[in-house]
Amino acid sequence: MFVRPFKSDARAVSVVIDGETVAASDGEMLAAVLLRTPPFYARRTPVSDSPRAPYCLMGVCFDCLATVDGIASVQTCLTPVRDGMRVERQAGLRELTK
């Protein structure tokens, strides 16, 4: 969907998204990484199980929510990437008793 053709000065790091290791740059926005990693969405909605990708990238739409390092419903457009960050795309309703 989106690509990063320009070499970044920031340190190369990797994050794990749903078990898959993905290359990223230290400190870049997690939502940007999601938008270049198939299947490109951050979550599936609890109401109709529809996939949602980051949309506004400025903290206003709340469609970019994913579970980051065990914390649910984090706005990935406000989350700088760190090496080894664990990301899970969210689907359905949040289970509390797990």
- Listed residue (45, 48, 21, 24) closest to 35, CA to CA: 24
Which DSSP state fits 10? S
Residues 27, 20: contact at Cβ < 8 Å? no
Question: Tokens 């469609």 identify what position?
Answer: 63
- Looking at residues 23 to 52 of the shown chain, list those that interact with other proteins (rule: CB under 8 A): 25, 27-29, 32, 35-36, 39-41, 45-48, 50-52
- Looking at residues 49 to 68 of the shown chain, list those that interact with other proteins (rule: CB under 8 A): 50-63, 65
Binding site for other proteins (CB under 8 A): 1-6, 8-10, 25, 27-29, 32, 35-36, 39-41, 45-48, 50-63, 65, 71-73, 78, 80, 92-97
